[in-house]
Each structure stands twice: as C-alpha cells, then as structure tokens.
Structure 1
Amino acid sequence: MTSTTDVLSQNVVVFSKNYLPMNRVNIKRAIALLVTGRAEPLDASDRTSGWMVRSPSVALRVPECIRLTVAGHERIWKVPPANRREILRRDNHTCQYCGSTKKLTIDHVIPRAQGGSHTWDNVVVACSRCNAFKGNRTPEEARMPLRTKPKAPLHPVVSFAEQFWRNHPT
C-alpha cells in the first residue's frame, strides 16, 4: 500500500494541447488542473497506472501523464546572450580541447582577429593552457579538435521533450 506522503511526492508529465511533453508538475498541481478542467488524463484506458487520491467526498485517479485542454499563451523565449556563465554551463565546466576542469577561460573557435564573432556557435570553454597554445589560430590550424560542436541552447520545452523521449522509448 502506498502512503500519503509517497503519493504526494509523485510527479506527473504534462503534455501540451498538441501532445508535446512540456514539463513535470507535482501531483497537487496535476489534481488542480484535472479538477478545473484545464487538463485531461492521457492514459485513461489504463486503470492500473497513476495514483488513487481520496478526499472525504471524492476519489480521483491521477494518471502519470496529463494533456492540457487549453492552449495557453506560449511565453516568448529568446536565446540568452552568450556570456561566460551560460557558456560554462553549456560546456559542463570542461575544456573543449583537453577535458580539463581547471583554470577555465572562454575561447573563440574562429579568432576575432580572423573575423570570428562572440556568438554561441563560435565560443567554447578552454583551459588557459589550451587557449594559449591555440592562440590566434583555428582548431584545424592548431591541430586541436573540439570535443563537441558549439551551439546555442535549445528552447526549454524542446530540451525537455528530447530528454523525455530519450528516457521513455515508445
């Protein structure tokens, strides 16, 4: 038997009206969305999945996945500026040339002296040793291949959806 605290600590996956996985919410929020009619259960045919929540007057089965029935206004999301903190986060605080996590700096893949810009696609984390060795050259010229190709961060909903489908194969 599942205790009350176990049930209340569960998460429910929320899908958009277009069936795009958006995020996870706690079970209390899921109940509020279901009761107010702003969401519907996605796995209604499967009576064994989910959790049974009872109050003195109502028994409600809360499924593992719900779908919003209202199309909310999507928040406008802009790609954040390519600043040091965000670049370090994207590259997991690791030098993209040697893998070191000490004395980290920001390196322009195509040096600014050669016309490179300070954009997500052109900046990576590099340790001071690799950055000094690479100097004003491209990785190809310095024979220093990148571990990962630099790219701008994804929209949070897209990122969550990719992670969701990777963890929940069909």
Structure 2
Amino acid sequence: MTVLTDVLRQSVVVFSQNYLPMSRVNIKRAIVLLVTGKAQALDYSTGNGWLVRSPSTSIHVPEHIRLTFGNSERLWKVPPVNRREVLRRDAHSCQYCGNNRHLTLDHVMPRSKGGLHTWDNVVTACEGCNSRKGDRTPLEAQMPLRTKPKSPMHPTVAFSEMFWHEYQIGE
C-alpha cells in the first residue's frame, strides 16, 4: 500500500501548447488530463514516469505533459504597487537591515526628490531604517539596499526559471 500512496504523491510538470513550463499538478490531475485528451505525454522514450493501474485499464503517466487545448498564453498584468505585493516581493523583510518586524514601505528615491510610486522605487523597510533614512537616497544615508527592487515576474516566467534551474544538466 505504501507504493500506491508514494505514486499518488508525485507531481507532473505541465507545459503549454507552446512548450512553456506552466505548473506542476498532482498525478491524479495529470491522469484526468491524459485520459480526456486534454494533454499528451512528452517523454515516452525515456521511460520516466509511473504505471498506474485500475481494474479496467492501466496508463503510463510521464513526468512531463503538454496541454493540447487552450487559447494563446493568458494575458497577465503587472499588479499595482501596494503594501501586500511589495511585502511579498521583499519576503517580508527590511531591505536595509533584514528585520521582519514593524515593516513599512519606503521610496528609494524620495517622492520629494521626484521619486515615483513604482515597483523599482518602493521597498520594504522597518520603522527604524525608514526614519533613519528619512528624506535621503540610500547613497546619501549610507544605507545600501540588500536587493534591487523590481516589478513582479509573470507567473509562467517565474515557474519556467525555477523549472529550468531544477532540471539543469550538470555544469
């Protein structure tokens, strides 16, 4: 019985019609996509995957499947700059000292000096660092940023990057 439950815990990488890695799904969802013809196997030749049997049939579920339906890639808009999204991007930590308590938003280039409320100008900062930096740039305040602020990535691109790093062939 442990072999059965081990197989059901596996996940399958789903590619779009254009062969872009989109997501991971559990093996049950992959079986449904394969049986209904909404997906096709991508790696029959390697033999990787799992053989799943039922009383009436057996199916080979590969590690990678490609969707055979759907429209062109979904449209995605960059989310608006707001506290929740900036905190998520900055992993809920101050971008000056790394603290994760009493967080606020800080404009890297202060708005009084022409800084805009954009993804590449807003970072998470603790109250102490935000007041210490005040109305100055990080260079003027001698407070370097831990990471360069940037706008969020399209979810498919983010998953693709993670996927390709995970499956990167030896260096």
TM tier relative to shorter chain: over 0.9
Q: Where in structure 2 are there 5+ consecutive unaligned residues?
A: none
Q: Distance in 2 between matches of 1:101 and 1:165?
A: 31
Aligned twin of 1:10: 10
Instruction: Give, in angstroms, the shift of residue 4 of structure 1.
Output: 2.0
Instruction: Give, in angstroms, the shift of residue 73 of structure 1.
Output: 4.4
* 1:125-158 CA distance string (max 9 Å, x none): 1111111111111111111111100011101111
| TM-score, normalising length: structure 1 | 0.93
Amino acid corresponding to residue 74 of structure 1 in structure 2: E
Q: Secondary structure at the match of 1:148?
A: coil
Alignment of 1:116-135 (within 5 A): 116-135=115-134
* 1:15-66 CA distance string (max 9 Å, x none): 112211100011111111111222111111022x111111122111100111
Amino acid corresponding to residue 31 of structure 2 in structure 1: I
Q: Secondary structure at the match of 2:23?
A: strand
Instruction: Give, in angstroms, the shift of residue 70 of structure 1.
Output: 2.6
Q: Secondary structure at the match of 1:99?
A: coil
Say whether residues 1:53 and 2:40 are aligned partners: no
Amino acid corresponding to residue 9 of structure 1 in structure 2: R
Q: Distance in 2 between matches of 1:39 and 1:162?
A: 22
Q: Distance in 1 between matches of 2:167 and 2:78?
A: 27
Aligned twin of 2:21: 21
Q: Distance in 2 between matches of 1:128 and 1:46?
A: 55
Q: Secondary structure at the match of 1:87?
A: helix
RMSD: 1.5
Say whether residues 1:94 and 2:93 are aligned partners: yes
Instruction: Give, in angstroms, the shift of residue 8 of structure 1.
Output: 1.7
Alignment of 1:1-170 (within 5 A): 3-47=3-47, 49-170=48-169
Amino acid corresponding to residue 57 of structure 2 in structure 1: V
| TM-score, normalising length: structure 2 | 0.93
The count of corresponding residues between Structure 1 and Structure 2 is 169
Q: Distance in 1 between matches of 2:71 and 2:43?
A: 22
Amino acid corresponding to residue 43 of structure 1 in structure 2: D
Q: Distance in 2 between matches of 1:32 and 1:73?
A: 22
Instruction: Give, in angstroms, the shift of residue 3 of structure 1.
Output: 2.4
Q: Distance in 1 between matches of 2:52 and 2:2?
A: 11
Q: Where in structure 1 are there 5+ consecutive unaligned residues?
A: none
Q: Secondary structure at the match of 2:40?
A: strand
